[in-house]
Amino acid sequence: MAGVSAALAVLWFSPDGERTLGHELVDPAAPLLSALDLSATRGDGIFESISVGDGHPQALEAHLARFARSAAMLDLPAPDAGAWRAAIVAVAGAIDPVPESFVKIVLTRGIEGGGVPSGWAYATASPDASAARTRGIHVVMLDRGVRHDVAQTSPWLLAGAKTLSYAVNRAAVREAARRGADDVVFVSSDGYLLEGPTANVVLLRDGRLLTPPLDAGILPGTTQADLFDWAPTRRLEPVYELLRPQDLLDADAAWLVSSVRHAAPIRAVDHAEVPVDRELSDAMNAFLRGRTG
């Protein structure tokens, strides 16, 4: 029998869009969206990517909480956590067992003028991140063009919401590739480290793990949060602090961290090398990989 490499569940909503009625497993290769869906025409919706380790969705409640927060920021109907949890578990369990997979959940504003959201959950095996986790990555610092307090001054820009409008984030990664690098660390127009296009930045300095404050117009990362909970087991103090590009260049070690890649050590920033702490990176990835909740 052919293996099942992907699974898709469609969420059903009441006609007023307020209630989630449940989910249905459908053929992941079948057409799903109307050409009028606002996700396709305007990028108007939200998503989450949840890593699944040996069948266990990881940081699931944190992802559901952030999904609800993004929905509120976009004035979308509040997601029904129970219905989404059930869909996530269903698709994660419907694919052939692999050590690492992920579930992507999407909630859109639906068809223009209709008032009924669209939603789905999709599971498949994760891309192989072992090279990034062991050899490390080369990043470039790029100006994001907004101040670090943009979330407070201009909330309509949706800084810190996980929206479907990721074209800018993809363009930044292409710019990194043009410069011969793998990824990006965004810097605010007033000179503070922010985050990567799909990851948070974590630095090691003098026995402290540092990351920018969560209100600095960045996505509050579930991976960074789990690493900060774990840090004291390694006698590391977790600290939220405004950081400058020089802090990254002077760090004892640094990482981009996110759900599917886990912790990718940064080995170079622009043209400067950054030390890689292989032992700590391996310990971080073993912890992240082993999470069962």
- Residues within the interface to ligand PLP (CB under 6 A): 49, 195, 197-200, 219, 221-224, 258-259
Cβ neighbours, 10 Å, residue 145 = 11
Pairwise CA distance, residues 214 & 251, whole Å: 20
- Comparing C-alpha atoms, which of 211, 199, 270 is closest to residue 239? 211
Q: Which is nearer to ligand PLP, 118 or 259 (CB)?
A: 259
Cα end-to-end span (Å), the chain: 31
Question: Least distance to ligand PLP from the beta carbon of 18, Å?
Answer: 27
Q: Which is nearer to ligand PLP, 13 or 194 (CB)?
A: 194
Q: Which is nearer to ligand PLP, 20 or 259 (CB)?
A: 259
Q: Which is nearer to ligand PLP, 19 or 174 (CB)?
A: 174
Residue 194 near residue 256, CB atoms below 8 Å: no
CA angle, residues 261, 194, 245, in degrees to nearest 5 = 105
Question: Least distance to ligand PLP from the beta carbon of 27, Å?
Answer: 27
Kind and range of the H or E element at 81? Answer: helix 81-94
Pairwise CA distance, residues 284 & 293, whole Å: 16
Question: Least distance to ligand PLP from the beta carbon of 40, Å?
Answer: 20
Q: Which is nearer to ligand PLP, 41 or 49 (CB)?
A: 49
Question: Least distance to ligand PLP from the beta carbon of 221, Å?
Answer: 3
Question: Least distance to ligand PLP from the beta carbon of 146, Å?
Answer: 13
